[in-house]
Amino acid sequence: MEQEKVEFKYTIGERVFKQSQLVLGQIQQLQNLIKDVIIPEDVTVSQIIGILGDKLPLAIAIVLREANGAPLKDKDYVALSNEISFDMTVEQTVEIIENFFDCNQISSLLKRVQGLGEKISGSVNQEQTKEIG
């Protein structure tokens, strides 16, 4: 079941960026960035801004891609975060965070991963039962 592609565009400073569904590389970058951060289940945008604090520009630089820029694997998101920090408005920041959840159905994805884990666990238990019996 493929998710319908959702994409948003932003003009930050003189550059155009887009945001769409994350790819694995972006997920890994975000995981490394927020590995010690606890985000509650029913979090609000203002809480995300507070929780991420000085990591927020980095997180936004990870999820955005320049419309006509380098491939994601070559993107220097640290340099990009420094550049966009001085051009991105608070309104754009809030919009990007809100749109992140429209692009990435996180709760749905987590449920699917949990279901897969339960399926795998059930399959392993059945195999162990067969070996014992």
* Distance between CA atoms of residues 45 and 60, nearest Å: 13
- Ranges assigned E (strand) in the chain: 8-12, 15-19, 65-66
Q: Provide the pLDDT for residue 70.
A: 80
Percent share of the chain, pLDDT over 70: 77
pTM for the whole structure: 0.76
Of 55, 54, 52, 62, the residue nearest 104 (C-alpha) = 62
**CA–CA distance from 87 to each of 45, 90, 109 (Å)?**
20, 10, 32
Q: Which has the higher per-residue pLDDT, 132 or 14?
A: 14
Over the stretch 63-105, which tens digit does the pLDDT of each residue have? 999 988 888 999 999 999 999 999 999 999 999 999 998 898 7
- Does residue 75 contact residue 65 with C-beta atoms inside 8 Å? yes
How does pLDDT run across 110-126, given as a tens digit for each residue?
555 555 556 676 666 66
